[in-house]
Structure 1
């Protein structure tokens, strides 16, 4: 396994981060235990989850993924071997996350409730990396779109107020470090500047979508990631399975996320299929597993701290973790960029 520093914490985290969002829905607790056991054996020390998981989010499964991880910590006695990341939900309409059935907001009361519940489910006294899952303010999903159709409003908890709450969590010892997710360049710099000028705990990472078919992070955020030590924790590196080739030509494998939930529209936008076919052809031309090509691309970007992989089978998990050993030649890098120029960011 390879390791990189998490922001300015001095902590080494594995470049492969174990994503967990299928546990409690597509995967059982037994599956989750097996995945965590294997990942730890392979040197993966970084796990990522969220209060709202499993996916798709619904009241019946909310918190189930954190509970599975907590049960594994208790059964294995391995809490000290893992850098644990979880997330608090941003502003939204899900009324089943909070005791009072209120829509989610990033305010003091809700964030405190969310953290305390996560700690209980995870059976731990602290979260290593506590992330804001998405912004409090109105933004397109992912916050880094190619088309902007949002009219920002001021009816939100300010960034300053959010930082005050988060800094309190750090001072109380419930959280070690802080992170962003689905955030924009503007938001990232506002959080960093506010924490620096006021002497508060700073953001150490940003978890955004990043893949061969969504390189929007490179436009403005990549420089921030490198110059401000706000490394990317890349999610959906396989475009929710599309870059494996499993859906090519309209295929719909039984048990796949698309077959079960039909929630992959982010990767079904005009032109996405043409770009995906081009990357699959590139892998074929060089005798590479298309999943490992896509993952190796993410692993090797200089602004990436960790690549969040997810799997529903052990075979998928082994392929994903094995991508850490794949090197990309200058020829492959050149062809990737050439495809990108022709089919730029079809799935932001």
Structure 2
């Protein structure tokens, strides 16, 4: 398993990260614990969760359940906590946590304490803001997102307020490092500037959507990542299952995410079918599993820290693990580039 630096933290993480957002809905606690065991045995040392998980669906009454499942594993496996880097996220406006209160110095202490308690751990290795208070380009909002109504002074003041609150959590030993999620280049640059000026926690990572079908990160954020050592933790590297090919020709496998969320979070567009077919065709012609190709491609990106995968079943987990043995040829990489040019931004 290839290991990559986690920003400037001094930590290294595996090229694959175990995502847990279905633990408690599609994935039972027993299955979740089995996945943790198998992932660690395979060399994965990175687990990602969030206070608002599980999803599919998101319900107020299940907020925190995924963290509890991981916490129960920690309690049953005392002495193994140092085998992996544990990341979680603070939700803000638009979530069902704290009635959608924005992220601030008022919410950070109670949220950190809540996650620590549910996770049954003394420290959170990577504490992330799930999305910006001011809104985000992510989740298909890039088509209509308009930043012109933002109040820059209020945004900067909130960033300063949050970073100072995070410093207090670092001083207490509750968290080690800080990351962002669903952020923009400008927002990340401001956090970096403030932390440098004030000596507060520095952005170590960015967790944004990234896959063969979603390459918004390839422009300004990629440049920032490379020059500022802010590694991408890619979520949905298989595009919510689209890149497996299992939804081709209108198929909807029983128990799949599409059987629960029919539009796959806005990813099911008229143009996505042609793009998926193009990538699956490349994989099949070169004797590759489409899952392996998609994940191996992520590994080629110069800004990639880790790719988060979610596996509903152990069989799916085993397929994902096989991707680390795959190296893409120059011919495959060239065909992927051609497919991207032919099918840019399919959703």
**Superposition TM-score tier, normalisation by shorter sequence:** over 0.9
CA contact (8 A) 2:137 2:184 kept: no
Correspondence list, 1:209-224, <5 A: 209-224=209-224
Q: Deviations over 1:188-220 (max 9, x none)?
A: 111111111111110100000000011110111
- Offset at residue 139 of structure 1 (A): 2.8
Which stretch shifts more, 324-333 or 255-264?
Answer: 255-264
- Offset at residue 60 of structure 1 (A): 2.3
Q: Deviations over 1:5-46 (max 9, x none)?
A: 110011111111100000000011100010000000001110
Aligned-residue CA RMSD (Å): 1.6
The equivalent of 2:312 in structure 1 is 312
Q: Deviations over 1:78-124 (max 9, x none)?
A: 21111100000022252xx22xxx32210112121111100000001
The answer to whether structure 1 residue 124 and structure 2 residue 121 are counterparts is: yes
- Name segments (4+ residues, structure 1) moved above 6 Å: none
SS at match of 1:141: coil
- Offset at residue 263 of structure 1 (A): 4.9
CA contact (8 A) 1:85 1:129 kept: yes
TM-score (norm 1): 0.94
Correspondence list, 1:269-284, <5 A: 269-284=269-284
CA contact (8 A) 1:138 1:151 kept: no
CA contact (8 A) 1:144 1:216 kept: no
Which stretch shifts more, 278-287 or 253-262?
Answer: 253-262
- Offset at residue 345 of structure 1 (A): 1.8
TM-score (norm 2): 0.95
CA contact (8 A) 1:51 1:63 kept: yes
Report the Cα distance in structure 2 between the residues aligned to 1:118 and 1:262, rounded to whole angstroms.
31
Give ranges in structure 2 of 5+ residues lacking alignment: none
- Offset at residue 269 of structure 1 (A): 2.5
Report the Cα distance in structure 2 between the residues aligned to 1:186 and 1:166, rounded to whole angstroms.
20
Report the Cα distance in structure 2 between the residues aligned to 1:82 and 1:72, rounded to whole angstroms.
13
Aligned residues, how many? Answer: 342
Correspondence list, 1:23-42, <5 A: 23-42=23-42
Q: 1:112 aligns with which of 103, 109, 112?
A: 109
SS at match of 1:36: helix
Correspondence list, 1:1-348, <5 A: 1-55=1-55, 56-77=57-78, 78-92=80-94, 94=96, 97-98=97-98, 102-142=99-139, 145=142, 147-149=144-146, 151-154=148-151, 158-347=158-347
